[in-house]
Chains A and B, each alone.
Chain A
Amino acid sequence: MIKATGLTKTIGHKSILQNIDLNIPAGQFVTVFGPNGAGKSTLLKILALISKPTKGQVIIDGMNSNEKPEAIRQKIGVISHQTFLNDNLTARENLNFYGQMYKVPDLKNRVFDVLSEVGLEFTLNDPVRTFSRGMQQRLSIARAILHDPELLFLDEPYTGLDPHAIQILNGVLGQLNVKKRTVFLITHNFEEGFAMSDRVLFVVRGKIVYDGKKAAVNKDELKSLYLQKVEGAA
């Protein structure tokens, strides 16, 4: 699904990513751990075609990111700690807008379906401004899965979520797993991040320092391995 070769990102004199090769087959659930400023978010932004690498190329579903960016974006959904929602519009208007941009068929029913999936079907005509942080995050999840993306990127989605929202997010992720969708998750949260993943990556100082199947280790081993790797690289 994702095939990245030689990804390097430098901003000014600062090197953010150093020659990263990454191959993620379709249907895999990848979780990325790493300290702050390690380049995780930059890696996600490059893979989600928000930002361009200084060197290297990204191929998603057989399409080169430089040649068919629009076709690739159609297959991608992103959930970040920012919601990408307009505060002055209602939940339904926000989703209608994104639905039009992604050319979602039968939009009216689809919007209702995803809103009920995140438990917001009764507040669909309220402006987002009046929503609590947790509700906004749930709406943001609905926004990201509205066009049924084959590939979902999540950048620290658990920050600021209440338990109810975490439950809903995990439900959505579980369904994606069942549907064999590819998921790329960045988190600090070992509990949540470890539960569903098939594969674990550690990114430290712009490099992938660990890449392993989940089956190889248990959670506590992973934690101590993580601390060891982070300290080893520093």
Chain B
Amino acid sequence: MDMLKGIRAIVRKDLTAELRTKELLSSMAIFAVLTIIVFVFAFDPTKAIVRQVFPGMVWVCFIFAGILGLNRSFVSEKQNDCITGLMLCPVDRSVIYFSKMTVNLIYMGIVEIVSLPLFTVLFNYQIPVKAISPLVLIIFLGTLGFAAVGTFLAALSSNARSSEILLPVILFPVMVPVILGAVQATAAILAGSPAVEWFSWLKILTAFDAIFLVVPLVLFEYILEV
């Protein structure tokens, strides 16, 4: 219970500060929209091939926008040495991790809610109504996996001087299963395939999420050491 209260307090603090400046959320949203525009220019939306690469484009957009948020999540706490203030708080270190992960999940959720409809409009792509609920599930699991491992590695890279460069390089190879799982499952769902065809991806995503929510429980305190 105490853990949940601590997580809620940190999440509320981060969201309040962000809503005051809207610095990060606006750049994430604008970056996502720009990515869509670039895709429109790169792949002619009138061609049939677009239907095949659509799931890939959607996830590339989510992930690139998400990286912006991840990069900020611990670097922002360096200001006035707030991270030490957090470490002084009488809560387990994992509370800091889980609250930062939740914040990243919320930011990415907002970006996804903005950019997915825009994708369908600009590419004239109709998502079948019965695909919506499985799609939401897969997007949630994929985003959770990305935020879980991403927040952890963002905490690690925030200690380096060139953290913005370091994070993508160390994050992308580790999250290959999320990219594969999310893109393949999204493609199968959008194509109207039966659930058996994407069920194994659901399992992969769930397994990845579970592993990378547990690993930080053990290892996060080593990252915060000074």
- The distance in angstroms between the C-alpha atoms of A52 and B87, with both chains bound, is 12
B129 within 8 A of A: no
Given A45-B226, A89-B13, A89-B17, answer yes or no on A84-B80 (Cβ-Cβ < 8 Å): yes
Given A89-B13, A101-B9, answer yes or no on A80-B90 (Cβ-Cβ < 8 Å): no
Which of B5, B17, B89, B90 sits near A71, CB closer than 8 Å?
Answer: B90
Q: Is the CB of B81 within 8 A of A102?
A: no
B25 CB to closest chain A CB (Å) equals 13
Contacts of A143 in B (CB 8 A): 85
Q: Is the CB of A52 within 8 A of B225?
A: yes
Contacts of A78 in B (CB 8 A): 84, 88
A51 within 8 A of B: yes
A82 within 8 A of B: yes
Which of B13, B84, B88 sits near A76, CB closer than 8 Å?
Answer: B88
Q: Is the CB of A86 within 8 A of B17?
A: yes
Q: Is the CB of B20 within 8 A of A127?
A: yes
Question: How many A residues touch B, CB cutoff 8 Å?
Answer: 31
Contacts of A51 in B (CB 8 A): 225-226
Chain B positions 150 through 168: 1 when the CB is less than 8 Å from some CB of chain A, otherwise 0: 0000000000000000000
Q: Is the CB of B9 within 8 A of A97?
A: yes
A100 CB to closest chain B CB (Å) equals 4
A48 within 8 A of B: yes
Chain B residue at minimum C-beta to C-beta distance from A153:
B88
A98 within 8 A of B: yes
A211 within 8 A of B: no
- The distance in angstroms between the C-alpha atoms of A45 and B81, with both chains bound, is 13
Q: Is the CB of B89 within 8 A of A101?
A: yes
A83 within 8 A of B: yes
B82 CB to closest chain A CB (Å) equals 5
Chain B residue at minimum C-beta to C-beta distance from A46:
B226
Contacts of A30 in B (CB 8 A): none
Chain B residue at minimum C-beta to C-beta distance from A149:
B88
- Kindly identify, within residues 1 to 45 of chain B, every residue whose CB is under 8 Å from any CB belonging to chain A: 2, 5-6, 8-10, 12-13, 16-17, 20-21
Q: Is the CB of A101 within 8 A of B91?
A: yes
- The distance in angstroms between the C-alpha atoms of A127 and B21, with both chains bound, is 11
Q: Is the CB of A80 within 8 A of B13?
A: no
Contacts of B20 in A (CB 8 A): 88-89, 127
Chain B residue at minimum C-beta to C-beta distance from A143:
B85
B92 within 8 A of A: yes
- Kindly identify, within residues 66 to 105 of chain A, every residue whose CB is under 8 Å from any CB belonging to chain B: 70-74, 76, 78, 80, 82-89, 93, 97-98, 100-103
A residues in contact (CB < 8 Å) with B = 45, 48-52, 70-74, 76, 78, 80, 82-89, 93, 97-98, 100-103, 127, 143
Between A and B, 19 residue pairs with Cβ closer than 8 Å are: A48-B88, A50-B84, A50-B87, A50-B226, A51-B225, A51-B226, A52-B225, A70-B90, A70-B92, A72-B90, A73-B89, A80-B84, A84-B80, A89-B13, A89-B17, A93-B13, A93-B16, A97-B10, A98-B85
